[in-house]
Amino acid sequence: MRKMNDEILKKDITIRILSVIFAMLVWFYVITEQNPVMTKELTLPVKLLNQEYLQRNNIIMMEDPGSFKVALKLKGKNNVLNQINSATVTAAADLSGLGAVGENYVNINITGLPDGINLLSKTPNSLKLMLENKINVQMPVQINVMGNPSQGLAAMAPVSIPADVVLSGAESQINRVKTVRVDVDIASVTAEVKKILPVRLLDENGKDVTTVNIDPSTVEISIPIENTKRMKIEPVITGQPASGYVITQTAVFPAEILVTGKAELLEGISTVQTEAVDVTNKNAAIENEIRLVLPKGVELVNRNENTKIKLVIEPVITKQVKLETVEYANLDAGLLVESLQSDIQLVLTGPESLVNQAPGNLKAFLDLSGIGEGTHTINAELEVPAELGIIDVSSRQAVVTIKKQ
């Protein structure tokens, strides 16, 4: 009887143990099904720590600080994963200690992951940063004036306040800047223009450079608008050419220029002189651009218009010339010239080009007033250009035969 009771007791304990094990298996199964282990992908912005370190060391990061992101792959219980988001997990990169110009790599640190959550992957593992030296450059402001004032008026030299601005930024970006410019439209204005306008930075192709800081970013532009007047240009020549040479032609191009200024200034002047051209000991032609000497308060309407001066300098030569053609005048009515013969010879001196044109530029004529019929020997009158001189006349006689008609 006792033996039977012991066997029954053993069976009962075994059943109880099996029941507990079964219950635990059922509990584990239920728990696993209700809160399984899963994976989750999460993209986070990467915060950059200690950016002021770069600023203190005059280093600039070329990338946009807000452009960095990291993709995480996490594994853990579903209920825990569901509580993870960008507000609970942080991705950060510490910039302190960076200082080498060029490519730099900085680790991305992930914080805020709960216990039991595994970080399977992180893409990228580190940030690639391009660092450059920060520089400051002062550049003048160029004023681009567009349009024209009302008729009869012109714009005088524009003024920018301040005249220069300071550019700061990455060295490579500042090196792109070729022009600092302000655009001003003065179409149809009738009075002085004053405007506060933004400063533009342009590269060699005329495109805006927007990655550089400008201080100040705006400037005040002032452009006086005044009357205009067209004036003759008067060349100023000093000195004497080399011995045996003379100036035979002086010309300026253009001959006149349009200037602008206050009405009372323009009323008192009619010509604009050139700067002095010294011809001392010169023996060849001179042709150069030349600056105009403008009275104070007077400016060119077209500041880009160039003035040129041309001086022809020639040697003085001597040449014997024979005139075979003689004209006559004042022949009395009822008479006619039957024949006219001449033998006029002279020695000329003067600029080479004019002397070589003789006798084409010389004139000989007879005054037949009061001369009647018959054959007469008459001295001819000679006309030569003022630039030529007559050194000698070996003969100026002409023989003319006159008869009645």
Give the CATH number, domain containing residue 75: 2.170.120.30
What pLDDT does residue 278 have?
96
Boundary residue ending a domain (79, 97, 132): 132
- Give the model's pLDDT for residue 30: 47
Q: What is the CATH number of the domain that holds 259?
A: 2.170.120.40
pTM: 0.62
Question: Where would I find the H helices in 165-218?
Answer: 171-176
pLDDT at 12: 66
Is a pLDDT exceeding 70 seen at residue 11?
no
Same domain? For 269 and 353 the reply is: no
Least reliable range by pLDDT among 95-104, 117-126, 311-320: 95-104
Total count of domains within the chain:
5
Same domain, residue pair 41 and 128: yes
> Does one domain contain both 267 and 185?
no
Nearest CA to 233 among 210, 251, 207, 209? 251
Do 248 and 313 contact (CB within 8 A), yes or no?
Answer: yes
pLDDT bucket at 323, cuts 50 / 70 / 90:
confident
Residues 335, 341, 347, CA angle at the centre, nearest 5°? Answer: 130
pLDDT digits (tens, 9 = 90+) for 173-217: 999 999 999 999 999 999 999 999 999 999 999 999 999 999 999
Are the beta carbons of 278 and 242 closer than 8 angstroms?
Answer: no
pLDDT at 78 over 90: yes
Instruction: Give me the pLDDT at residue 34, please.
Output: 66
pLDDT at 237: 96
Which of the listed residues 132, 162, 190 is the one where a domain comes to its end?
A: 132
CA angle 124/126/127 to nearest 5° reads 95
Highest mean pLDDT among 14-28, 67-81, 358-372: 67-81
Q: How confident is the model at residue 6 (pLDDT cuts 50, 70, 90)?
A: low
Residue that terminates a domain, selected from 198, 223, 248: 223
Name the residue range of residue 364's domain: 324-404
- Of the candidate ranges 16-20, 272-276, 399-403, the one whose mean pLDDT is the lowest: 16-20
Position 240 scores a pLDDT of: 95
pLDDT of 287 reads 94
Say whether both 75 and 42 belong to one domain: yes
Taking the C-alpha atoms of residue 107 and residue 91, their distance in angstroms, rounded to an integer, is: 10
Query: 127 and 45, same structural domain?
Result: yes
Q: Count Cβ atoms within 10 A of the Cβ of residue 270 and give its class: 0-12 exposed, 13-18 middle, 19 or more buried.
A: exposed
Residues 399 and 379 occupy one common structural domain: yes
Q: What is the mean pLDDT of the chain?
A: 90
Q: CB-based contacts of 216: which residues, under 8 Å, 6+ apart?
A: 162, 165, 199
Same-domain check for residues 342 and 355? yes
The closest alpha carbon to 167, from 181, 154, 157, belongs to 181
CA 253 to chain centre: 26
Average pLDDT over residues 116-134: 94
Residue 39 has pLDDT above 90, yes or no: yes
**349 neighbors 389 (Cβ within 8 angstroms):** yes
Mean pLDDT along residues 301-306: 89
Question: Are 147 and 219 found together in one domain?
Answer: yes
Token pair recorded at residue 242 = 């080399």
